[in-house]
A and B are shown apart, each in its own frame.
Chain A
Amino acid sequence: MKLWEIAHSRTGDKGNISNVSLIAYDPKDFEMLKEKVTPEKVKEHFKGIVKGDVVRYELPNICAMNFVMYAALGGGVTRSLSVDMHGKGLSSYLLDMEI
């Protein structure tokens, strides 16, 4: 199953740091998501894109996790060579992860 089936996501940017949320549609899935979608797994999934650490935070009442990914935006929004300078599409890539 892809994360896309049971969760939604939005990406934000600050300098060369990307943050990607993962929000369970159904609160019942949140514990399972916390277990399966570890920072290590996310770092592996974003191999080639994210050069730095991935840190996970939680907002338990809204069944959300927030992954902060360092050195993730090709040098930063203002100088990235990527089509997607803000890395806004990274949320969709997280949802492509198989669990």
Chain B
Amino acid sequence: MKKIRIGSGAGYAGDRLEPSLELIEKGNLDYISYECLAERTIAIGQQAKLKDPTKGYNSLLEHRMEKALPLCWEHKVKLITNMGSANPAAAAAKCVEIARAHGLNGMKIACVTGDDLLPVIDKYMDTEVWETGEPLSKLPGEIVSANAYMGVEGILKALDQGADVVITGRVSDPAIFLAPIIHEFGWALDDWDKLGKGTMVGHLLECAGQVTGGYYAEPGKKDVPGVGHLGFPIIEIAEDGSFVVTKVPEAGGMVTPDTCAEQICYEIHDPTKYLTPDVVADFKQVKFTQIDKDVVKVEGATGRPKTETFKCSIGYRDCYIGDGEISYGGPGCVARAKLALDIMKERLELVAPNAFDELKFDIIGCNSLYWNPDYKYNDEPSEVRVRVAGRAKTKAVADIIPNEVEALYTNGPAGGCGAVKRTRDIVSVASILVSRYDVKPEVQVFQV
């Protein structure tokens, strides 16, 4: 039975490069897919594109492709990525330039567009926003991006046209892994059981190191060998949809039923209804078997017919967040941190009464991650860090918080140290559903 091997080249926009190069060189791969888009990434990319029409793609694209394209060409590995972000066409043009400079003559580089719904966003103004339950027109800030999560369709078209490299904008994370499987095996687009299995492949690979022992280690309980040179995962899948998860033998990390179990539950809700543009995948009966060292067989995923809608992420100018931090150490440090917070509360009342939409007062080391009022904390730590954050409609107001935290140096409790401050312009993301028939993937192929 025909089998193919797909590697995961990145689990987020800024992920390490070297594990992906190791995979291309030593993984005996057919494909490598780099997942590099978080919810908000495209909104930020869209703003970069507004300033410069040749930008708006992943900022590490050149860094990655300079190394990955020549290696992929040498080892006959096809590369798929959503690094195109807000500007897949510009990203593809950049890749053509890089491939030319390396003399990769004949390489075909494709871009998939069609996810950008910003030009037609006005027609959705009455559509309900998930997060608020109100119509899109009631969003508090200017809309700066609108991108539908497309499925495999555009990537399939590109692969059918012989593309060696496929660059997309917003597609579902599993799609960049599922598409090459469908392409290689000729699976029907309504073979829901197989598409469910292929989606499981994508879900396990999309966070790269998170299935090979990354984000997993707990000293003494869950030790991970070689975690400092963690390898990225490979899935070997057969035509019938059966597959194993593994890694390059000499790479650090490990693949076990437990590393897979943590990743399978990552960012899913009802395991019987994992909604993607291509299938409603069902992971409930999934089962893992260790069949060799760092080789785990995965069984039991299936799927049901896809829905009529696509999720669309809307980026909008939301607010400004100002925050500042300052540390206190030694005996009495918690009492001094509490005093610092009391001073901050008084200062904000004095200089900016009712100016903030929301405020947060933390003592890092005691209650910054978990703020259950009844939680019993351990003995006094040897040092703590005060943090105050606030949300405001203008930068000038948001700036008051970091400036007041910094002023605790000369005006606050004894021994304050290491103050830092920042104010961020916040683009937030809201979600709507759009008809899948409104979204038309388009493909362009360029030959080097």
Contacts and interface: CB of A to CB of B under 8 A. Distances in A.
A49 B266 contact: no
Contact of B265 (A17, A23, A78): A23
Nearest to A20: B265
Nearest to B374: A47
Given A10-B262, A81-B360, A89-B369, A16 B39 contact: no
B287 A14 contact: no
Contact of A83 (B267, B269, B368): B368
A93 B369 contact: yes
Contacts of A15: 39, 130-131, 429, 431
B300 interface: yes
Interface string B261-279: 1111111111110000000
B437 interface: no
B290 to A, nearest CB: 12
Contacts of A76: 131, 428-429
Interface string A49-93: 100000101111111101010000011111101111000011001
B222 A8 contact: yes
A39 interface: no
Q: How large is the interface on B (under 10, 10 to 19, 20 to 34, 35 or more residues)?
A: 35 or more
Interface string B360-395: 101010001111111100000000000101110000
Given A14-B269, A17-B269, A59-B286, A79 B372 contact: no
Q: How large is the interface on A (under 10, 10 to 19, 20 to 34, 35 or more residues)?
A: 35 or more
A84 B389 contact: no
B286 A62 contact: yes
Given A15-B130, A62-B264, 7 more contacts: A10-B263, A15-B39, A23-B262, A45-B372, A48-B375, A58-B284, A79-B426
Interface of B: 39-40, 130-131, 215-216, 218, 221-222, 257-258, 260-272, 283-288, 300, 318-319, 321, 323, 358-360, 362, 364, 368-375, 387, 389-391, 426-429, 431
8 contacts: A8-B221, A23-B262, A48-B374, A57-B272, A59-B264, A78-B426, A79-B321, A79-B391
